[in-house]
Amino acid sequence: MLPLPDYDFLPTGTHDEEARENFCRGLAIKLAADIRPPLKTLYEAEVKPAFEAEHRREPSFREIAKEMRKQTRTQLWYRMRTDNQDRMYAVTGDMISRQATTLTERAIAASGTNGSLTLDSSVAMPRYLTEVDIHRKPGGYHLETIENDISPGAQYERTIAVHNMGSQGINNDDPAQSIATWIRTTYPDLKPMQILDLGCTIGNNTLPYKSVFPEAKVFGVDVSAPCLRYAHARACALGTDVHFHQADAQKTGFADNSFDVIVSRILLHETSAKALPGVIQECHRLLKPGGLMLHCDAPQFDALTPYQASLRDWDATCNNEPFMLTVYDMSLKDLYSDHGFLPESYIQTFVTGLYIKEQNIDPNATPGFGASYFVTGAIK
């Protein structure tokens, strides 16, 4: 059984569907823990020496990925990982399409008790989200097929439960729990009254900012209306006041200097070369002087070895993450200072995950359990 919260607008599976979900999770662990690590031995024993003999230098992460993609064992790994991703969306998609009308009615019935939801049908989906099905999820974050649809939000919650399998707590909110707590400890004088989470999807990593900073008014912004409807119903079911707005993170419509803290989680790599500077520019406009911007994503490549960085190649070439390699390889310090943030205030660190510490879990013995979250940021 997947560890899931119990609000009634979360899709449920049949016995066979849940068995298929569990298979996806089991295979994902097997692929990560048992099948991929020997590829590193193949790289070190054969691929790297052959490259160095030919080029008289070490390969870059892109060259490692290119050489490794020629190896049959790598191709097999890519194929199995890709099929597993498609299998996960097929099974959760089956569940949701069968229950979409009922779940939508229930979500609407649950809404309106806490915080608010402000939708704006004039907000255009950025091209980078409509050109490809991000993560191979059919319809991406935004496809609506019935009135007031919440399906992409419901599917997001079900698939992160498959991915995380409780490793980030039952509400899948450990990244924000850990980062909000880190902000409170690291910046004790900040005392934020207005907090904004950009690219909030279903708000799982928005709500903790309200629990860690109960005095603050907390906002979540996303372009996807169906995810935001779901986020609002979910926040109401969990009794948390958060204000969800449909807006582009490059042009949110909030006033200048209106936030003390602006955060995001796994938003930056899902934007584009054109949108990313716009998002950072908007953070600078929205923050009060002295305000904190903090983005959580996978580690930048300067924090990894070239071989570790090359492992992102599957995401970029098979999982429809076209901007990922570019963003992880750029200098965020330069990007942030180009948009007005103080270079000496640049933050790049790993924030310890609270959940595994509290549960006394050994991350090395438990594949998929993250010990820490990578963040970058700056002060205005």
Ligand X SMILES: C[S@@+](CC[C@H](N)C(=O)[O-])C[C@H]1O[C@@H](n2cnc3c(N)ncnc32)[C@H](O)[C@@H]1O
Question: Contact residues for ligand X (CB under 6 A)?
Answer: 126, 129, 141, 199-201, 204-205, 221-224, 227, 248-250, 265-267, 270-271, 275
Nearer to ligand X, 39 or 262 (CB): 262
Distance CA 239, CA 19 (A): 32
Distance CA 209, CA 310 (A): 34
Helices (H), the chain: 15-30, 37-42, 48-55, 61-69, 72-110, 127-130, 151-164, 174-186, 207-212, 225-237, 275-286, 306-310, 313-318, 324-329, 332-338, 354-358
Minimum Å gap between C-beta 352 and ligand X is 18
Nearer to ligand X, 234 or 333 (CB): 234
Minimum Å gap between C-beta 52 and ligand X is 37
| Integer angstrom CA distances of residue 102 from 37, 85, 126, 224, 370 | 44, 26, 30, 20, 35
On the 0-12 / 13-18 / 19+ scale of CB atoms within 10 A, 59 is buried
Residue linked to tokens 């603050």: 216
Nearer to ligand X, 111 or 172 (CB): 172
Distance CA 118, CA 238 (A): 19
Distance CA 233, CA 224 (A): 15
Minimum Å gap between C-beta 222 and ligand X is 4
Nearer to ligand X, 74 or 250 (CB): 250
Strands 372-379 and 194-198: unpaired
Minimum Å gap between C-beta 181 and ligand X is 16
Minimum Å gap between C-beta 221 and ligand X is 6
Nearer to ligand X, 271 or 310 (CB): 271
> Can you read off the two tokens belonging to residue 200?
């909030």
Nearer to ligand X, 104 or 272 (CB): 272
Nearer to ligand X, 96 or 275 (CB): 275
Strands 217-222 and 287-296: unpaired
User: Among all residues, whose Cβ is closest to ligand X?
Assistant: 199
Minimum Å gap between C-beta 14 and ligand X is 26
Minimum Å gap between C-beta 140 and ligand X is 8
